[in-house]
Amino acid sequence: MTDILRIKDLKVEFVLPHMRVKAVENVSFRIGAQETVALVGESGSGKSTISQAIMGLLPKTAQITKGSIIFADPKKPGTRVDLAMLDRSGAEMRAIRGGRISMIFQEPMSSLSPLHTIGDQICEAVRLHRKVGRAEAKELAVEMLTLIGFPHPKRALKTYPFELSGGLRQRAMIAMAMVCRPALLVADEPTTALDVTIQAQILRLIKDVQKELQMSVLLITHDLGVVANMADRMVVVYDGRVVESGKTDDVFINPGHAYTQSLLAAVPHFDMGPDERLRPLREIKPKTGSLLAESSQQESARETSDVPPSLALHPAMASEPVLSVRHLSKSFTTRKGNWIKSEQHLIPAVADVSLTVNRGECVGLVGESGCGKTTLSKLIMRAMDPDEGSILFRGESGQMTELTGLDEDQLNPYRKRIQFVFQDPFGSLNPRMTVQDIITEPMLIHGVGDAEYRKNMVLELMDLVGLDPRFLSRYPHSFSGGQRQRIGIARALSLKPDLLIFDEPTSALDVSVQAQILNLLKDLQRDLNLTYLFISHNLAVVDYIADRIAVMCAGRIVESAPREQLFRNPLHPYTQALLNAVPFADLEHLLDFDKIVDGKASDPARWPAPFTINDTSAPKMMQFAEDHFVRAERADFTEIAI
Amino acid sequence: MLTFLARRLFVMVPTLILISVLVFVIIQLPPGDFLSTYLNELQAQGEAVDPAKIEFLKRQYGLDQPIYVQYAEWAWGLLHGDLGFSFEYNLPVSDVVGDRLWLSMVLNFSTVIFIYIVSFPIGIYSATRQYSWGDYGFTLLGFLGLAMPNFLFALILLYYANVVFGTSIGGLMDPEFINQGWSFAKIMSVAEHLWAPVVVIGTSGTASMIRRLRANLLDELGKQYVVTAHAKGLSPTKVLFKYPLRMALNPFIADIGNILPQVVSGSVLVSVVMSLPTTGPMLLAALQSQDMYLAGSFLMFLALLTVVGMFISDVLLAWLDPRIRLQGGVSK
């Protein structure tokens, strides 16, 4: 038997005082030597419970009531241990845990203790499982940190986790898990919390280290793109049961189970046709009512009996800009030193950003965390004041109005026209308000309509986002993440805004729910002629929904182009790096791990010549083709264009 | 770290100056001064008062000076260790206070140590065995301790201490040692009397500390880094002591600054009931009779304790938590 781990008929139950809840049932799969097996499923499918059962880390209330987890340590040939039978905190289990089977977790922020140095935490793991002295443990830790690609391994021993970036923290975590050279690594969503370029680096790292240490990997993830690039075999879990398992190639090419098929169909991928749609598990059919279809111009037209008819039918107006941002900049100051002698540092969060959003179009804004995309959205909302630049917005009058410099009262009519949908569906709805109150609130604040109108509007909005109007008296906690996000969308639409800003609206959701929301947004845009600014770190999502895409890095927009053009012909090195780093759920477009370079991609000073941004050169946006702009110096740029 | 210490110490100076001004103002707030209170008392007893004598007393005590001059003299004296003069006792304040200050300190520090020693293990036990019989039992005891009036508990303890151990009622030592020099027997007598007030004053503090430690630790126990530590293969006890407990310590230490003055002021009532020779009852009397320098010295002493307590907790926090130590200087 070359299998390292064999799980058979595993059943885990949560034993609560008044009931037993099945978390996982009838789960069987195996992990071969030096093999990578991916455990795929959406949140709540039980994949984490399986990993906890293997590690003996199940919560106190959970019990393994049936089945076995046989671990055959390649270091001790012939021995087989049933992990399901061991005492979870007994000496035997503890020797295996961390020593022979290690685990890395999703959150690099919270999974390391903030009070202990990296060195302390790694050496602790070494000394637990190997009989070595303090100095030797340190050497082993340095050796492992070097292997993991830490820039200064010796110095890293003395740093605290909060002094490191997310990517480095995850590296430290991996070093800690690897330092005892385990036979099996359990990686629970190891890259979900990381940016794409960092994700690609970490994935490459896991692959490299796996080869170097000859170990097996159990990769737990919801991201089929990661699976396609990493796994030899995959196991699909749904509702605590294995619905399909097999070689990754086979499952991707010929998925047998309906759930696997729908999971694959729900992932947005590049080169989708313009009319191709994602297929979520459950489609929402939006129903447009009369109140929403009536545009604000029509409304005012009705009131003043003035000329312009329906807006959607007027081709000349369809392409007019709704929002035009010009050379917008915003810096934050950090203070260092004491209050007698302090140094002020200006950190540019948004620098020289220009962006236009036309009526009826969806502009995607892509960038990694910390690139300033959320700050930009806050500036547009005027939740913050910009240092420089202008924000022109087409208000009710049909004229472009400068928003910067307006005070609160003057801004009020424009607040109504720009609405926002937030990333976190849990934090963005007040838990003490009913759905009815949540959706009505914006209309109350701006004094829109009478009680009768508001009531009808709420009913119509509920229909629109595919929620049962009977839910109106419920509170947010009784809804799932996807449903909450739909409530958030309904709230944003209640004022019939001219511009909707979405800040990562689907990043907290499962793929099938994400597909549902994305389709809903597309349908709404088509039916109501809405205008979107869609902010996301996920290129595939932006590619699916946006007409034009702007790529942002270090506070600047580095490239903007219509969607097909950007993906077919990315010019800026950062865009290229970003595109290279996205793992697609497509076996024909695997990541080229050789092209992934560590940490250089998002540093403007290290971009090659025509693109370099540093103290001496600050290139401006240059037109390359119609609607395709790149931030580069003109002189060199023409050469590249040829 | 050194600059942090220096800065922290430097900040204490203006704080103390501000407090001394406040203290002085508060003492002066009630109408009249010690002399007018004294005169009222004499007149109430039907005694005639010679106006010339009053003038003489006023001048002698400096009460005819403007308030800021009085403050300046008092503050200048404080800086030189001169606590001023008690009108009521006709003695320098330092003589009046005498042993009381030291006895209060002994009492209060014993109480703080009692609180920490008792609440720590119980808090850890309660958190790690949440919802067990033991946890419920300690919770019940804790609420009893919080709910019971201190003076009642003091009386009960005094009674039993006398009946069971034969300890003399009241005071911090047997009557024969009062006004005697310090000797081993006297120390033993103090120790014998000390435990009852310590328990009485300490119960509510202990109870709330247990609740706080339990809540903190429960929060930390569910955190991801604890799972990581378990995943390394550490034994459960080691995990507990190295990771979550150290994190849970933070609010515990931050509390030192609060607990010191709380204990001191909380002990006044108990000291009256148990007639302890501590500063509490004397402060009360001094405030009633507007014996300003005596009251002022006590209040300054309390303030000093608070400020020093805060300083100690800040230094300890910086020493224990690298996030405070290394990120302290950076702010947005």
Instruction: Give me the pLDDT at residue A185, please.
Output: 94
Is 80 exceeded by the pLDDT of residue A75? yes
The amino acid sitting at A406 is L
First to last CA, chain A: 59
Query: Mind listing the pLDDT tens digit for each residue in B149-205?
Result: 888 888 888 888 888 887 777 777 777 777 777 778 888 888 888 888 888 888 888
**Residue B157: beta bridge partners?**
none
Residue to substitute from A57, A106, A115, interface B, most B β-carbons within 10 A? A115
More confident: A62 or B45: A62
Provide CB contacts within 8 A for A103, sequence distance 6+: A51, A55, A57, A177, A185, A186, A187, A188, B231
Residue to substitute from A16, A48, A104, A111, interface B, most B β-carbons within 10 A? A111
Instruction: Give me the pLDDT at residue A310, please.
Output: 41
Contact list in B for residue A176 (CB cut-off 8 A) is 228, 232
Work out the number of other CB atoms within 10 angstroms of the CB of residue A4.
24
Instruction: Give me the pLDDT at residue B47, please.
Output: 75
Contact between B322 and A332 using a beta-carbon 8 Å cutoff: no
Contact between B228 and A95 using a beta-carbon 8 Å cutoff: no
Contact between A97 and B232 using a beta-carbon 8 Å cutoff: yes
Closest alpha carbon to B15 in B225, B7, B156, A80: B7
Task: Compute the distance between CA of residue A395 and CA of residue A412 in angstroms, rounded to an integer.
Answer: 11
Instruction: Give me the pLDDT at residue B312, please.
Output: 86
User: Are A186 and A475 contacting, i.e. CB atoms less than 8 angstroms apart?
Assistant: no
DSSP string, A197-258: HHHHHHHHHHHHHHHHHT-EEEEEES-HHHHHHH-SEEEEEETTEEEEEEEHHHHHHS--SH
User: Are A219 and A190 contacting, i.e. CB atoms less than 8 angstroms apart?
Assistant: yes
Instruction: Give me the pLDDT at residue A336, please.
Output: 57
User: Are A221 and A227 contacting, i.e. CB atoms less than 8 angstroms apart?
Assistant: yes
Task: Compute the distance between CA of residue B72 and CA of residue B86 in angstroms, rounded to an integer.
Answer: 17
Contact between B223 and A173 using a beta-carbon 8 Å cutoff: no
Q: Residue A304: which pLDDT band, with cuts at 50, 70 and 90?
A: very low
Task: Compute the distance between CA of residue B312 and CA of residue B259 in angstroms, rounded to an integer.
Answer: 12
Question: What are the CA-CA distances from residue A48 to residues A45, A102, A189, A219, B96 (Å)?
Answer: 8, 15, 9, 11, 70
Contact between A99 and B229 using a beta-carbon 8 Å cutoff: no
The stretches of A352-423 forming alpha helices (DSSP H) are 373-380, 408-415
Contact between B234 and A128 using a beta-carbon 8 Å cutoff: yes
Contact between B320 and A115 using a beta-carbon 8 Å cutoff: yes
Work out the number of other CB atoms within 10 angstroms of the CB of residue B249.
20
- Looking at the complex, report in whole angstroms how far the Cα of residue A468 sits from the nearest Cα belonging to chain B: 36
* Highest mean pLDDT pick, A301-315, B50-64, B149-163: B149-163
Query: Mind listing the pLDDT tens digit for each residue in A375-426?
Result: 898 899 888 888 888 999 987 777 888 888 888 888 888 888 899 998 888 8
User: Are A201 and A596 contacting, i.e. CB atoms less than 8 angstroms apart?
Assistant: yes
Closest CA in chain B for residue A126:
B232
- Looking at the complex, report in whole angstroms how far the Cα of residue A102 sits from the nearest Cα belonging to chain B: 7
Please report, rounded to a whole number, the percentage of residues in chain A having pLDDT higher than 70.
92
Q: Residue A603: which pLDDT band, with cuts at 50, 70 and 90?
A: confident
Instruction: Give the helix/strand (H/E) hosting B107.
Output: helix B99-128
Closest alpha carbon to B271 in B170, B148, B165: B170
More confident: A605 or B244: B244
- Looking at the complex, report in whole angstroms how far the Cα of residue B331 sits from the nearest Cα belonging to chain A: 6
Q: Residue B265: which pLDDT band, with cuts at 50, 70 and 90?
A: low
- Looking at the complex, report in whole angstroms how far the Cα of residue A229 sits from the nearest Cα belonging to chain B: 26
Cα A441-A446-A452 angle, rounded to 5 deg: 65
DSSP state of A377: H
Q: Strand, helix or coil at A625? A: strand
Q: How high is the mean pLDDT of chain B?
A: 82
User: Are A326 and A390 contacting, i.e. CB atoms less than 8 angstroms apart?
Assistant: yes
Q: How high is the mean pLDDT of chain A?
A: 84
Instruction: Give me the pLDDT at residue A295, please.
Output: 52
Contact list in B for residue A16 (CB cut-off 8 A) is none
Burial of residue A345 (CB within 10 Å: 0-12, 13-18, 19+) is exposed
Burial A284-321 (b: 16+ CB within 10 A, else e): bebeeeebbeebbbeeebeeeeeeeeebbeeeebeeeb
Contact list in B for residue A54 (CB cut-off 8 A) is none
Contact between B322 and A115 using a beta-carbon 8 Å cutoff: yes
DSSP state of B162: I
Instruction: Give me the pLDDT at residue B331, please.
Output: 36
Query: Mind listing the pLDDT tens digit for each residue in A483-495?
Result: 999 999 999 999 9
Q: Which residues of B touch A (CB under 8 A)?
A: 3, 7, 223-225, 227-236, 242-243, 246-247, 320-323, 326-327, 329-332
Q: Which residues of A touch B (CB under 8 A)?
A: 55, 57, 89, 94-99, 102-103, 105, 107, 110-117, 124-125, 128-129, 160, 162-163, 173, 176, 332-338
Is 70 exceeded by the pLDDT of residue A22? yes
Sheet holding A400-402, edge to edge: A342-358, A321-337, A388-394, A400-402
Contact between B243 and A176 using a beta-carbon 8 Å cutoff: no
Cα dihedral across residues A277, A280, A283, A289: positive or negative: negative
Instruction: Give the helix/strand (H/E) hosting A6.
Output: strand A3-16
Strand pairing report for A321-337 and A499-503: unpaired
Task: Write the residue in A89, A98, A114 that is nearest to B232 by C-beta.
Answer: A98
- Looking at the complex, report in whole angstroms how far the Cα of residue A548 sits from the nearest Cα belonging to chain B: 35
Cα A368-A372-A373 angle, rounded to 5 deg: 75
Task: Compute the distance between CA of residue A536 and CA of residue A572 in angstroms, rounded to an integer.
Answer: 19
Query: Mind listing the pLDDT tens digit for each residue in A193-223?
Result: 788 888 888 898 899 889 988 999 999 998 8
Residue to substitute from B1, B232, B250, B331, interface A, most A β-carbons within 10 A? B232
Is 60 exceeded by the pLDDT of residue A76? yes
Contact list in B for residue A57 (CB cut-off 8 A) is 227, 230-231
Burial A59-81 (b: 16+ CB within 10 A, else e): eeebebeebbbbbbbeeeeeeeb
DSSP string, B187-248: HHHHHHHHHHHHHHHHHHHHHHHHHHHHHHHHHHHTSHHHHHHHHHT--HHHHHHHTHHHHH
Instruction: Give me the pLDDT at residue B259, please.
Output: 73
Instruction: Give me the pLDDT at residue A305, please.
Output: 40
Q: Tokens at residue B230, please? A: 């378990």
Burial of residue A109 (CB within 10 Å: 0-12, 13-18, 19+) is middle
DSSP string, A58-123: --TTEEEEEEEEEE--TTSTT--EETTTS-TTSHHHHHHBTTTEEEE-S-TTTSS-TTS-HHHHHH
Task: Compute the distance between CA of residue A97 and CA of residue B234 in angstroms, rounded to an integer.
Answer: 9
**Residue A363: beta bridge partners?**
A533, A548
DSSP state of A405: T
The tally of CA atoms less than 13 A away on the side-chain side of residue A217 is 30
Contact between B232 and A176 using a beta-carbon 8 Å cutoff: yes
Task: Compute the distance between CA of residue A103 and CA of residue A206 in angstroms, rounded to an integer.
Answer: 12
Query: Mind listing the pLDDT tens digit for each residue in A120-161?
Result: 999 999 998 988 889 999 999 999 898 888 888 888 898 898
**Cα B251–chain centre separation:** 18
Closest CA in chain A for residue B249:
A115
Task: Compute the distance between CA of residue B220 and CA of residue A560 in angstroms, rounded to an integer.
Answer: 45
Task: Compute the distance between CA of residue A105 and CA of residue A186 in angstroms, rounded to an integer.
Answer: 9
More confident: A293 or A56: A56
Is 50 exceeded by the pLDDT of residue A66? yes
Instruction: Give me the pLDDT at residue A641, please.
Output: 44
Tokens 């003395």 locate to: A158
This prediction has a pTM of 0.79
Tokens 């293990």 locate to: B121
Contact between B330 and A57 using a beta-carbon 8 Å cutoff: no
